[in-house]
Amino acid sequence: GAARDLTGPGRAASSILRSSERAQAEARVIENELRTLLVDFRRTGAWERLKCVELIFVLGWPNKDVARRLNLTENAVANHKFFVVQKLREAAKLARVSHELLSSPELD
């Protein structure tokens, strides 16, 4: 029979695999950074921040409900959330830069 073109209009399998690997790597970075933060909160006795993080990120509560539950201002809850999100962003950015440097063609 005639030869068929199997490439199709979609993304190459290698591209999909790289995307999946990158997503898994980013998830590991976030997981590791969150674990580090939680250990640090416990070590330093930052119980208020730890409780906020659990309610916001684990249970998915809105800031308003967290503030009411912990008897805090919404601003205090927002500050705790901002602190954690910034730390996660910094870790993700560093990991991305590290990954890009390690996979740079100049290193091949």
- Other C-beta atoms within 10 Å of 52: how many? 27
More confident residue, 58 or 68: 68
Q: What is the pLDDT of residue 108?
A: 46
CATH number at residue 102: 1.10.10
For residue 98, the enclosing domain spans: 14-107
Q: Which of 23-32, 41-50, 96-105 has the highest mean pLDDT?
A: 41-50
Q: Is residue 79 within 8 Å of 52, Cβ to Cβ?
A: no
- The length of the chain, given as a count of residues: 108
Going by the DSSP 8-state scheme, the letter that residue 103 receives in this structure is T
Q: What is the mean pLDDT of residues 20-24?
A: 76
How many structural domains compose the chain? 1
Task: Answer whether residue 6 is part of any domain.
Answer: no
pLDDT of residue 31 exceeding 60, the answer is: yes
